[in-house]
Structure 1
Amino acid sequence: MANAVALLRTEALSVRFGGEVAVDGVSAAFYPGTLTAIVGPNGAGKTTFFNLISGQIRASAGEVWLKGERITRLSVPQRARRGLGRAFQLTNLFPGLSVFENVRLAVQAEARRDFRLLSLASEHRDLNARSADLLETVGLRARAGAPASALSHGDQRKLEVALLLAGRPDVFMFDEPTAGMSVDEVPPVLDLIAAIKRDREKAILLVEHKMDVIRALADRVIVLHQGRLVADGVPEAVMALAVVQEAYLGSTGSEG
């Protein structure tokens, strides 16, 4: 990656909660065309690191840069408008709205238009068409009229991917996208992430515990342990390191 320009990077990123250091001076760069898996034992700081990047938590020290712009002090919506898209461990949907309405709101936000209460649908054909296309992409067009709350967990994750795609981000952040899914629900979501990965202009960050998912998708693995970055490299080499074997491979479950 010596000649590549990072889409996203952190410099000595840290956060303290009281006297505890949850993320401790993490510097990392994330490149277009690369899916980076972020792994580590429970409490290693993975989700906290994600929260610092996406703006849910304010850093105690260090910087976050996106496409060469320092975004450390920007809000979550400001970061999203600049090209940072994040999916959470728990789906972040409007459960009372239909599947189509959820996507249309995201498409509208990206287009920066407001629907007038009494406006004609014909005025918004382009937004409606893009919403339908996104539902087709994630395999939910047949469920467009269903309330989001009626979807299975796997389909809710697909809908969240559609919302991410609506924002046209340059960086996709997935926090344990297969958590809580049945065996049958996992492959379609992984296929969607793999499809995003084929866009060589995008960078993907993935927090994941499942080794088979990491082996299938990751170009690179970074390991956090006690808030510090302790390893960074190709999956085969990183997973063979003693520090990773000791700190990670015996752990299961999700991080708090």
Structure 2
Amino acid sequence: MTSEHPILETRDLTIRFGGHVAVDHVSCTFQRGTLTAIVGPNGAGKTTYFNLISGQLKATSGQVFLNGADITRIPVPERTDRGIGRAFQLTNLFPSLTVRENVRLVAQAKAGKGFDMVSVAESHVELIERAEHVLAEVRLIDVADQVVAVLPHGDQRKLEVAMMIALGPQVLMFDEPTAGMSVDEVPVILDLIKTLKQDMDRTILLVEHKMDVIRSLADRIIVLHNGALVADGEPAEVIAMPIVQEAYLGKAPEAA
């Protein structure tokens, strides 16, 4: 860890559903320019932790901080405005519009102009330029004029990322980005995340089950088990821990 003020922090973050503690006093900081993988078995609390950070769920106790400001009680739209973006949670594409129009609508909303298609006139040069820049970054510029409904699944996933980037987030959250993807499509998304990671102003959080994906992307791994944070460190260090080897990789730890 560096001495830099964390861009994102959770302090004793907890949520209970009846008598079940789904996330149990998780305290963790995330620095700018890093990619942290969040791992653990099914039911460990990974997605619930994501939901608490992005605002889909309200914490029973504890706090979430973004750039030092307490955002625990503010709603999802305001968290988005402040810089938290989440992909692969829901598909929020406009299938009858083109790729460019999808991204331009998000850029328009970010600019405070709403989602009125009539007002997205050609005179909004800055919105068009913003959409073009984002599409180039996610390598969709060649299909910018295609209707979304005819795009391959992998390109639709990339478009989801483009729409998130158009909102200008500081924190990018990916919840199992390769889930449901074909073998051929997975490298496309991984390459995209690697490209996004090169921007040191961005902080990336990634929930993923595939260890090969985690090894190729993560600067750091945190492990949740029964809602609690049980490990936190560099990938090689965490993957070698007996608790990870036994509980999460399904094998006994290798002999020294």
Length-normalised TM-score, structure 1: 0.92
Q: Which residue of the partner structure matches residue 21 of structure 1?
A: 21
Q: 4+ residue stretches of structure 1 with deviation over 4 A?
A: 115-120
2:62 match: secondary structure: strand
- The aligned amino acid for 2:178 is T
Q: Which moved more, 1:107-116 or 1:17-26?
A: 107-116
For the structure 1 residues 204 and 231, does the alpha-carbon distance in structure 2 shift closer, same or farther, using more than 3 Å as the test? same
Superposed counterparts of 1:177-256, under 5 Å: 177-250=177-250
Show the counterpart of 1:148.
148
Shift of 1:157: 1.1
Amino acid corresponding to residue 205 of structure 2 in structure 1: L
> Using a 3 Å threshold, how does the CA distance of structure 1 residues 112 and 13 change in structure 2: closer, same or farther?
same
Is the contact between residue 222 and residue 229 of structure 1 (CA under 8 Å) also seen in structure 2?
yes
Judge conservation of contact 2:108–2:120 (CA < 8 Å) in 1: no
Aligned equivalent of 2:86: 86
Shift in CA distance, 116/220, structure 1 to aligned 2, threshold 3 Å: closer
Q: Name the CA distance, whole Å, in 1 between partners of 2:115 and 2:33.
A: 35
Is the contact between residue 153 and residue 180 of structure 1 (CA under 8 Å) also seen in structure 2? Answer: no
**SS of residue in 2 equivalent to 1:122:** coil
Deviations 1:45-96, CA, capped at 9 Å, x for gaps = 0000000000000111100000010000011010000011111344332333
In the alignment, the residues of structure 2 paired with residue 76 and residue 14 of structure 1 have an alpha-carbon distance, to the nearest angstrom, of 18
CA distance in 1, matches of 2:117, 2:138: 28
> Which stretch shows the higher mean deviation, 95-104 or 5-14?
95-104
Aligned-pair distance for 1:138?
Answer: 1.5
After superposition, residues 38-77 of structure 1 pair within 5 angstroms as 38-77=38-77
User: AA paired with 1:215?
Assistant: R
Q: Label 1:176 to 1:151 Cα distance change in 2 as closer, same or farther (>3 A).
A: same
| RMSD, aligned CA | 1.7
Partner of 2:254: none
Q: Name stretches of at least 5 consecutive residues in structure 2 with no aligned partner.
A: 252-256
- Cα 1:5–1:117 change in 2 (3 A) is closer
1:147 partner amino acid: V
Deviation at 1:40, TM superposition (A): 0.3
Cα pair 1:225 1:247 within 8 Å, conserved: no
Alpha-carbon distance between aligned partners in 1 of 2:61 and 2:205, rounded to the nearest angstrom: 21
Question: Partners of 1:194 and 1:207 in 2: how far apart?
Answer: 15
Matched residue type, 1:205 = L
Question: Residue type of the partner of 1:97?
Answer: L
- Residue 254 of structure 1 corresponds to none
Superposition TM-score, scaled by structure 2 size: 0.92
**What is the CA distance between 1:114 and its match in structure 2?**
3.8
Could you say what secondary structure the match of 1:230 adopts?
Answer: strand
> Secondary structure, in 3 states, of the residue corresponding to 1:123?
coil
Rounded to whole Å, the distance in 2 between the matches of 1:101 and 1:49 is: 32
2:163 is aligned with 1:163: yes
SS of the residue corresponding to residue 125 of structure 2 reads helix
Q: List gaps (5 residues or longer) in structure 1.
A: 252-256
